[in-house]
């Protein structure tokens, strides 16, 4: 059984998270329910930073808010002294709505709109990570019209290809993101930043992929970035003040997933980076990173209530399969469908019983929304509370209203206290933005 963060099994044999009984949480707030182990998130923020501070002199950790952003999360990240990566007007809005300090925010996006770029100036955010030449032109126009300066990082694609699902790889040459280094585009982008009035060249950025279970590609990418820094210095005289190597460190979805811990990861990236900088005779830039999943993934759990249980005959291998249907699925966790993502789970109300049976956990959408195929659990009954682990990143953030399901509530738990930070959607929310023109009203009977 995979127990994460502050999780433990209490005297009643129930799963406990942040000192709160998961069965009690399900009763109090209903299911499906996203539960965030606040102490685990805080510990991850501190440990990630400490790991890099131990082996590199100047670090900045930008939490990648796309992984999971609520006002409470923005508040927590600010309290922990981290910076914030936003990738849309909406993420910027939520961060600012929560009072996140604008100078600690950086804006991403491969097709930023005028509105997004304008908002970046308006809120006086720290800097923008530029993705393409159109954006550079737009930024030049805005800086001129507003008579203001914007700090800029140039996003480069280092051409390294990590081992992960093809939909979450971004560092390879064939990608929609950033400026290619090998064909000279990245260098050209730096030149344009340097020669565009109102733009200030601050540094370079790369992000190679997500859910990476070793440090190899991060190290490779960092070394390619040092070569780019050398070239920039040699050809323009400009120094990189901030080198951002993106996010991407993986988490445990299954017990056999073993990502390096933060210290091992930091050592494996920072030491070769320092050596490369020393060899190149370059001053150490601020080393920035944008972890999302590794800060929140394992700190999140989704609680479901078990409904129908059905055993069906199967031929491969000959026998039966038992489907346990829960009260959520695709709409609160699209990752199994999108990325063939795997998960583990715990029977929250009998966590102390031996997991000696095989079940397949199904959602309740009009799709084959299997959350977990063939997992070991104690004997299951209707009404049980099932906790799916490691749902803190890219679950609530990617939830939908498919089949007109209501998006679940979110609670933060810590030291036996549970705070509702997002309330469950209501049926009224489903029609809040709907307009029914007279000509489309259902026909009245004659």
**Part in contact with ligand LLP (CB under 6 A); list of ranges 53-61, 136-144, 284-292, 421-429:** 284-292
- CA dist 96 and 393 (Å) reads 21
Q: Which residues contact 415 (CB under 8 A, 6 or more apart)?
A: 18, 19, 39
Asked if 300 is part of the footprint of ligand LLP (rule: CB under 6 A), the reply reads no
Q: Which residues contact 233 (CB under 8 A, 6 or more apart)?
A: 239, 240, 282
Q: Figure out which of the listed residues 14, 96, 108, 350 binds ligand LLP, where binding follows CB under 6 A.
A: 108
Cβ at position 427, least distance to ligand LLP in Å: 28
- CA dist 209 and 159 (Å) reads 12
- The alpha carbon of 228 is separated from its chain's Cα centroid by a whole number of angstroms, namely 27
User: Which helix H or strand E contains 370, and what residues bound it?
Assistant: strand 370-377
Beta carbon nearer to ligand LLP, 233 or 263: 263
Q: Figure out which of the listed residues 7, 44, 294, 349 binds ligand LLP, where binding follows CB under 6 A.
A: 294
**Part in contact with ligand LLP (CB under 6 A); list of ranges 44-52, 130-138, 203-211, 213-221:** 203-211
**What SS3 class is residue 386?**
strand
Asked if 141 is part of the footprint of ligand LLP (rule: CB under 6 A), the reply reads no
**Part in contact with ligand LLP (CB under 6 A); list of ranges 5-13, 63-71, 144-152, 430-438:** 63-71
- CA dist 434 and 426 (Å) reads 14
The reply to whether 366 belongs to the active site is yes
Beta carbon nearer to ligand LLP, 152 or 351: 152
Q: Which residue has the tokens 């501190």?
A: 46
- CA dist 30 and 88 (Å) reads 31
Q: 10 Å Cβ neighbour count for 378?
A: 18
Asked if 293 is part of the footprint of ligand LLP (rule: CB under 6 A), the reply reads yes
Beta carbon nearer to ligand LLP, 333 or 349: 333
By the 8 A CB rule, do 213 and 254 touch?
no
By the 8 A CB rule, do 106 and 126 touch?
yes
Residues 65-104 that bind ligand LLP (CB under 6 A): 66-67, 85
Question: Which residue in 20, 55, 345, 366 is the catalytic one?
Answer: 366
Q: Applying CB under 6 A, what is the total number of residues that bind ligand LLP? A: 21
By the 8 A CB rule, do 171 and 201 touch?
no
Cβ at position 181, least distance to ligand LLP in Å: 16
Beta carbon nearer to ligand LLP, 16 or 85: 85
Report the relative pairing of strands 345-347 and 385-389 from DSSP bridges: antiparallel
Cβ at position 242, least distance to ligand LLP in Å: 14
CA dist list (Å): 154 to 50, 109, 181:
27, 12, 11
Q: Which residues contact 74 (CB under 8 A, 6 or more apart)?
A: 65, 84, 94, 95, 98, 99, 100
Beta carbon nearer to ligand LLP, 66 or 112: 66
- CA dist 273 and 107 (Å) reads 25
Asked if 291 is part of the footprint of ligand LLP (rule: CB under 6 A), the reply reads yes
| DSSP code of residue 166 | G
Cβ at position 177, least distance to ligand LLP in Å: 7
Q: Figure out which of the listed residues 59, 65, 210, 288 binds ligand LLP, where binding follows CB under 6 A.
A: 210
- CA dist 54 and 43 (Å) reads 16
- CA dist 292 and 218 (Å) reads 15
Measuring CA to CA, which residue among 188, 268, 274 is closest to residue 228?
188
Asked if 218 is part of the footprint of ligand LLP (rule: CB under 6 A), the reply reads no
Residues 346-405 that bind ligand LLP (CB under 6 A): 393-394
Cβ at position 157, least distance to ligand LLP in Å: 11
Q: Which residue has the tokens 């190899």?
A: 216
Which x/- pattern over 316-335 shows residues binding ligand LLP (rule: CB under 6 A)?
-------------------x
Residues 155-194 that bind ligand LLP (CB under 6 A): 168
First-to-last alpha carbon distance for the chain, in angstroms, is 63
**What SS3 class is residue 289?**
strand
Asked if 336 is part of the footprint of ligand LLP (rule: CB under 6 A), the reply reads no
Beta carbon nearer to ligand LLP, 16 or 369: 369
**Part in contact with ligand LLP (CB under 6 A); list of ranges 28-36, 60-68, 73-81, 95-103:** 60-68
Asked if 64 is part of the footprint of ligand LLP (rule: CB under 6 A), the reply reads yes
Q: Figure out which of the listed residues 5, 203, 259, 292 binds ligand LLP, where binding follows CB under 6 A.
A: 292
Which x/- pattern over 229-258 shows residues binding ligand LLP (rule: CB under 6 A)?
-----------------xxx----------
Beta carbon nearer to ligand LLP, 324 or 410: 410
Active site residues: 366
Judged by the rule CB under 6 A, the positions of this chain that interact with ligand LLP are 64, 66-67, 85, 108, 168, 207, 210-211, 246-248, 290-294, 335, 339, 393-394
């Amino acid at each position: 059984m995979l127990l994460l963060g502050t999780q433990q099994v209490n005297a009643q044999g129930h799963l406990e998270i942040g000192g709160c009984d998961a069965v009690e949480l399900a009763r109090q707030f209903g299911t499906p329910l996203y539960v965030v182990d606040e102490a685990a998130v805080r510990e991850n923020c501190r440990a990630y930073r400490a790991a890099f501070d131990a082996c590199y002199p100047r670090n900045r950790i930008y939490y990648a808010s796309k992984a999971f952003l609520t006002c409470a999360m923005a508040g927590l990240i600010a309290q922990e002294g981290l910076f914030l990566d936003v990738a849309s007007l909406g993420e910027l809005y939520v961060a600012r709505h929560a009072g996140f300090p604008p100078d600690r925010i950086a804006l991403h996006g491969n097709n930023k709109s005028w509105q997004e770029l304008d908002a970046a100036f308006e809120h006086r955010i720290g800097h923008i990570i530029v993705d393409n030449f159109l954006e550079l032109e737009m930024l030049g126009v805005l800086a001129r019209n507003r008579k203001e300066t914007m700090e800029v990082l140039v996003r480069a694609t280092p051409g390294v290809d990590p081992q992960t699902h093809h939909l979450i790889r971004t560092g390879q040459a064939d990608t929609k993101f950033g400026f290619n280094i090998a064909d000279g585009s990245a260098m050209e982008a730096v030149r344009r930043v340097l020669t565009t009035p109102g733009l200030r060249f601050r540094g370079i950025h790369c992000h190679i992929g997500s859910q990476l279970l070793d440090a190899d590609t991060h190290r490779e990418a960092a070394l390619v970035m040092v070569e780019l820094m050398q070239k920039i210095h040699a050809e323009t005289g400009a120094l990189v003040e901030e080198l951002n190597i993106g996010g991407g460190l993986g988490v445990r979805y299954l017990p056999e997933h073993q990502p390096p811990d933060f210290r091992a990861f930091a050592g494996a990236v920072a030491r070769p980076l320092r050596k490369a900088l020393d060899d190149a005779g370059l001053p150490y830039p601020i080393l920035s990173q944008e972890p999302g999943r590794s800060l929140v993934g394992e700190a999140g759990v989704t609680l479901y209530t078990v409904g129908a249980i059905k055993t069906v005959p199967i031929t491969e291998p000959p026998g039966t399969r038992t489907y346990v249907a829960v009260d959520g699925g695709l709409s609160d966790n699209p990752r199994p469908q999108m990325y063939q993502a795997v998960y583990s789970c715990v029977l929250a109300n009998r966590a102390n019983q031996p997991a000696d049976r095989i079940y397949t956990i199904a959602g309740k959408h009009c799709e084959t929304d299997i959350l977990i195929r063939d997992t070991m659990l104690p004997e299951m009954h209707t009404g049980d509370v099932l906790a799916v682990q490691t749902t803190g990143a890219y679950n609530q953030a990617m939830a939908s209203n498919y089949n007109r399901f209501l998006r679940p509530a979110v609670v933060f738990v810590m030291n036996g206290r549970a705070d509702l930070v997002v309330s469950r959607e209501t049926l009224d929310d489903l029609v809040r933005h709907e307009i029914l023109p007279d000509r489309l009203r259902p026909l009245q009977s004659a």
